[in-house]
Amino acid sequence: MAFQGLRAIQPRSFVPRTTQSRHRLGYSPNLLLEAGEPDSPDQLWVGDISHLPLSDGRFCYLAILMDRYSRRIVGWHVEPSMTEDLVIPTLQKAIQECQPKPLVIHHTDRGGQYASSRYRAILNRAGFQQSMNRAENCYENAFMESCFGTLKTELQMTEYKHHEMARREIGEYIAYYNLDRKHSALGYLTPHQFERHT
């Protein structure tokens, strides 16, 4: 393998936890337990954070907000760390682009990034209803887990040289995901087409 310049792909022994729910910032109730399925855009946004491997053994992080109705990614951001500076630009971009009416349900896990006072202030100004998973229940945000699985599989993600490179490639993929990728759950329309046909 050394003679051919090959390197074995081995699973990493360490995978960072992207949900840091042991904090004292307070939690929001899970509003999805009583909410029906959304029947138009900008009723329910779901969000999460995932790690992206870097070639030096470290990680950078991707935050996404997705419209649950159309599967359209309405906001995203990549940063070297997973502080509130990762999730706040994601939310701000989504609000600026979509200009949603008040009462959007914003659902995430119980991570401290989403419970910070700055993040909650933006939600309050926009008139959003914050919703969070119940403790130790990742299945309540299964649509975001599925989205990240699709993204990592289709990008054949291995490692990025630095977070700026990850940001460029993720941006290209999300444009494809929203505008060109057909979803079987949407009747083989893209998220953009599905929103226009409703």
Dmax (CA) for the chain in angstroms is: 61
List, run by run, the mean pLDDT of 10-residue segments along the chain (198 residues): 69 56 75 92 96 94 97 97 95 97 95 94 98 77 89 89 95 97 95 91
Nearest to 144 by CA among 53, 55, 41, 67: 67
The answer to whether 54 and 60 are in contact (CB under 8 A) is yes
Please state whether the predicted TM-score (pTM) of the whole model is above 0.95. Answer: no
Q: Which domains does the chain have, with CATH numbers?
A: 31-196 (3.30.420.10)
Residue 42: the pLDDT is 97
